[in-house]
Amino acid sequence: MDIVFIHDLQIETVIGIYDWERKIRQTISLDIEMATDISKAAKSDDIEDTLSYKTVAKRLIEFIEQSEFELVEALAERICSIVMEEFSVPWVKLTLHKPGAVRGSKSVGVIIERGTRPA
């Protein structure tokens, strides 16, 4: 398997457990690795034969901008489900960053993997 990736996709959303967090939009950042076979696209040089990172990013931006999760864990799980189910991805690794959530830290968040890891 090959990997198609998106690094540092920044999206504003409502995320958090505190009352003040429910009233504002915060920026989260995503790093996503998605297993796929790029050989058909490499031979054809046709966007229709590949996993389009632009299409994935647009779908996730649309979903996340409208979401209002309390926990990054719940948001991360849903992101992975969307990628796997809607784009037929057998394995995904997601790093979800929540910058500024802890004073003195550049970022906090979660890293999750779902599906069958590529060989």
pLDDT in tens, 60-101: 999 999 999 999 999 999 999 999 999 999 999 999 999 988
- Give the CA radius of gyration of the chain: 15
Give the domains, in start order, of the chain with CATH numbers: 2-115 (3.30.1130.10)
pLDDT confidence tier of residue 102, bands split at 50, 70 and 90: confident
Q: Which residues contact 116 (CB under 8 A, 6 or more apart)?
A: 35, 90, 91
Q: What per-residue confidence (pLDDT) applies to 14?
A: 97
pLDDT in tens, 3-13: 999 999 999 99
Report which DSSP code applies to 36: E
Q: What per-residue confidence (pLDDT) applies to 83?
A: 98
Q: What per-residue confidence (pLDDT) applies to 41?
A: 96
Question: What gap in Å lies between CA 30 and CA 60, rounded to an integer?
Answer: 10
Q: Under a CB-based contact definition with an 8 Å cutoff, are residues 3 and 115 in contact?
A: no
Question: What gap in Å lies between CA 60 and CA 78, rounded to an integer?
Answer: 10
Give yes or no: 43 in active site. Answer: no
Question: What gap in Å lies between CA 23 and CA 113, rounded to an integer?
Answer: 30
Q: What per-residue confidence (pLDDT) applies to 98?
A: 96
- Exactly one of 43, 58, 98, 106 is catalytic; name it: 98
pLDDT confidence tier of residue 39, bands split at 50, 70 and 90: very high
Check pLDDT > 90 for residue 118.
Answer: no
pLDDT in tens, 41-71: 999 999 999 999 999 999 999 999 999 999 9
